[in-house]
Amino acid sequence: MHEFDLSSAIVATVRKHAEGRQVTHVTLRIGRLRQVVKDTLEFYFAIVGKDTNCEGASLEIIDVPAALRCTNCKKEWEIEIPAFICPDCGPGAVEVMTGEEFMVESIEVEDEEDAACTAPR
Amino acid sequence: MHRTKVRVVEDALDANNTIAGANRSDFDRAGVTVVNLMSAPGAGKTTLLERSLDGLADAGVRVGVLEGDVAGSFDADRISVLHIPVVQLNTDNGFGGECHLDANMVRSALPAVPLDDIDLLLVENVGNLVCPAEFRIGEDAKMMVCSVTEGEDKPLKYPLMFRSCELVVINKIDLLEHLDFDIDRLEANILQVNPDATVMRVSAKTGEGVDAFREWMASVSARAGAAA
């Protein structure tokens, strides 16, 4: 259910950067640890974006694996299940390197012809 | 028409986090420590507060409560009989009730909270193990209550929530003798997901273990003074 609110947050962020232009594509980076269900997010994104300049935009989600680092032995590894324990050192301080991202990476917008010439690539 | 790619690279929750930062500034200015209290519905958040808050005055901690609920003021009514300042925050403005508190909802309730008269503000979030973990409200500490009538595998199903909390209170231990519940396995699962968590075993009904929770609140409350 949090996908509804997350979709609202995404649409708000996208609209801020679109500056009124029609949005055709949105690329997100979402870490595995965020527990986001992609299909549900896409479903709500379409609902929240309706009647805005996000309506009809396609959503692309870049999945970021959950990578940990042991602060003791410096080992780095990825996890598939929620086990935040170093396999070598046992319980202790573990840092999350990646997997907590919830970023709008980029958007694609429709520009007027003239503006396109000066738009950064 | 021409399509242009715009690099954004922005946390989609930045807007919420900015407001959470404003809340935090207000709390810091008033010297108030804020605890975000979360759990599944029915785990015993309000009962734990009823059991533990009255003794806090003796420890020199003036406490206030912000009650987040989808609707109604049942929880706030229960707290107010303790003569503790309590503010009810309902989330059902819009279509249906929000399933969590976000920074802006808390901000809207702040004018009603007597920040200058309290040292510790407990924000009882809406009962839910998913959404409240996502939204910062400007708190100093997050904690949760889980109960022995839930499953031992809850931490593995809701790691985002269990990882976000520095304290996990296991409630309803008075029921253990009636249940097939392996509390050690629950605690091991909590620590697998969040090795830094403090875990307490409590019965809000009988009062067992509540002293430890009260001491935790008093120690958290002292953080604001230490930081200032």
Burial label for A97, CB within 10 Å (0-12, 13-18, 19+), is: middle
Q: What is the pTM of this model?
A: 0.90
Does the CB of A109 have a partner CB in chain B at under 8 Å? yes
Per-residue pLDDT, averaged over A80-98, amounts to: 90
Could you write out the DSSP letters of every residue in A33-79?
Answer: GG---HHHHHHHHHHHHTTTTTTT-EEEEEEE-EEEEETTT--EEEE
Task: Give me B153's structure tokens.
Answer: 């595998």
Output the domain CATH number for residue B196. Answer: 3.40.50.300
Whole-number pLDDT of residue B59: 87
Higher pLDDT, B196 or B71: B196
| pLDDT above 90 as % of chain B | 82
Q: Which residues of A touch B126 (CB under 8 A)?
A: none
In this structure, are residues B158 and B130 in contact, taking their beta carbons and an 8 Å threshold? yes
Angle between helices B210-227 and B14-30 (to 10 degrees): 90
Q: Please, what is the Cα angle at B219 between B213 and B221, to 5 degrees?
A: 105
**Distance from A13 to chain B by nearest Cα, in Å?**
6
The string of pLDDT tens digits covering residues A3-61 is 888 999 999 999 999 999 999 999 999 999 998 999 999 999 999 999 999 999 999 99
Q: How many domains does chain B have?
A: 1
Q: Does B1 map to a domain? A: no
Task: Give me B136's structure tokens.
Answer: 């910062």
Whole-number pLDDT of residue B96: 56
Q: Which residues of A touch B160 (CB under 8 A)?
A: 33-35
Instruction: Decide if pLDDT at B90 tops 90.
Output: no
Residues in chain B: 228
Does the CB of A34 have a partner CB in chain B at under 8 Å? yes
Does the CB of A39 have a partner CB in chain B at under 8 Å? no
Higher pLDDT, B71 or B130: B130
Task: Give me B91's structure tokens.
Answer: 């989330």
Instruction: Decide if pLDDT at B62 tops 50.
Output: yes
Residue type, position A24, single letter: T
Q: Which domains does chain A have, with CATH numbers?
A: 2-107 (3.30.2320.80)
Whole-number pLDDT of residue B177: 96
Instruction: Decide if pLDDT at A121 tops 60.
Output: no
Higher pLDDT, A32 or A93: A32
Is the CA virtual torsion A7, A8, A12, A18 positive or negative?
Answer: positive
CA–CA separation, A103 and A27 (whole Å): 9
- Rounded to two decimals, the ipTM of the complex is 0.81
Residue for token pair 């975000």:
B36
| Most B-contacting residue of A3, A7, A13 (CB-CB within 10 A), to test interface | A13
CA–CA separation, B156 and B108 (whole Å): 34
Instruction: Decide if pLDDT at B228 tops 50.
Output: no
Task: Give me B183's structure tokens.
Answer: 């509390």
B→A interface, C-beta within 8 Å: 1-16, 98-100, 102, 128, 130-131, 134-135, 155-156, 158-160, 163, 191-196
Task: Give me B120's structure tokens.
Answer: 């510790």
Does the CB of A107 have a partner CB in chain B at under 8 Å? yes
Residue type, position B226, single letter: A
pLDDT confidence bin for B53, thresholds 50/70/90: very high
Does the CB of A59 have a partner CB in chain B at under 8 Å? no
Whole-number pLDDT of residue A15: 96
Q: Does B71 map to a domain? A: yes
Strand partners, A53: none
pLDDT confidence bin for B71, thresholds 50/70/90: confident
Q: Does B6 map to a domain? A: no
Range(s) of the domain holding residue B111:
15-227
Q: Please, what is the Cα angle at B101 between B115 and B122, to 5 degrees?
A: 40
Task: Give me B32's structure tokens.
Answer: 């108030």
**Distance from B57 to chain A by nearest Cα, in Å?**
35
Does the CB of A64 have a partner CB in chain B at under 8 Å? no
Q: Does B10 map to a domain? A: no
Task: Give me B34's structure tokens.
Answer: 């804020």
Q: Does B3 map to a domain? A: no
Q: Which of B5, B11, B130 sits opposite A2 (nearest CB)?
A: B130
Could you write out the three-class secondary structure of B98-121?
CCCCCHHHHHHHHHHCCHHHCCEE
pLDDT confidence bin for A90, thresholds 50/70/90: confident
pLDDT confidence bin for B1, thresholds 50/70/90: confident
User: Kind and range of the H or E element at A17?
Assistant: helix A2-18
Does the CB of A35 have a partner CB in chain B at under 8 Å? yes
Subunit contact B2:A106, Cβ cutoff 8 A: no
Subunit contact B99:A28, Cβ cutoff 8 A: no
Instruction: Decide if pLDDT at A115 tops 60.
Output: no
**Residue A61 CB coordination number (10 Å):** 15
CA–CA separation, B215 and B183 (whole Å): 23
